[in-house]
Amino acid sequence: MTNAFETAVAAVRSLAAYVGVSLWVLVCGPPGMLLAMATGRPDALYVLGRMGVRIGLGAAGIRCRVAGREHIQLDRAAVYCVNHASNVEPPILYMALAALHPRLRILYKAQIHKLPVLGRAFDMAGFVPIERRSPRRSMQAIRQAAAAVRAGNSFLVFPEGTRSRTGELQPFKPGVFLIAARAGAPVVPVAIQGTRAAMRKGSPLVRPVTVSVRIGAPIESAGEDGEGETTLMERTRAAVAELLEQGPVTDP
């Protein structure tokens, strides 16, 4: 009975989150894009984005604890590499790294780019879609992201390439480390925990949980290429694994 009740509550809260965010995007997205075009800056989109994320996470009952904020690189661009187990992670990390707005970009799944309003807003914010099934388009996305990092923008990436079904850390793919190597930017390892309990792969339900985000010390990548990219990838994965081993963040 308890599980059935909790599932019913999660279903209602999930519906409220989906409807609330959808209405927010449809109502506030177009004016935000017009303002961004008028000013030539994406600041308005980031403000509206934060409000929309708060609506969604609040309705779903998702709370977040963050440790290691001192490792956020405020004075230089960096590539933030995070483990991936759930679709709720991008908005949570968008808020956890809010200190970087409006210079935080996201490398995201190309299918999302097809969504009306949202895809256009992502373009204007400088987010980069990546088509992982097409090597040519993937390299185009990596080059575009590297250019953005060289211009002073940080990137949020998921180096596993896809969500983990088990929650275990998967092998990293080397492509995203080209972004840091080509831009001479540091990689910041980030570990997120609790999201699989919030939303499992293949399920639309979002359950109310507390999520933990641990941000690690930056790993320099200046001048690394070829074999250096592999080393950078291995060092980053080891750092993310170490952060995961520390367990959930206990302080608010």
What are the beta bridge partners of residue 187?
Answer: 79, 219
What is the token pair recorded at 153?
């923008």
* Residue 114: DSSP 8-state: G
Q: What is the pLDDT of residue 2?
A: 59
Question: Are residues 108 and 142 in contact, defined by beta-carbon separation less than 8 angstroms?
Answer: no
**Span 153-190, pLDDT tens digits:** 999 999 998 888 888 999 999 888 999 999 999 999 99
Q: What is the pLDDT of residue 147?
A: 96
Query: Please, where are the H alpha helices in the chain?
Result: 2-39, 43-60, 89-96, 118-125, 135-150, 175-183, 195-198, 227-245
**Span 67-83, pLDDT tens digits:** 999 999 999 999 999 99
In the chain, what are the domains? 61-245 (3.40.1130.10)
As to burial, measured by CB atoms within 10 angstroms (0-12 exposed, 13-18 middle, 19+ buried), residue 132 is middle
Taking the CA atoms of the chain, what radius of gyration do you get in angstroms?
A: 18
Q: How many CB atoms lie within 10 A of CB 42?
A: 24
- What mean pLDDT comes out for the span 115-138? 88
The residue among 132 and 130 whose pLDDT is bigger is 130
- pLDDT at 232 exceeding the cut of 80: yes
82 vs 246: CA distance, rounded Å: 15
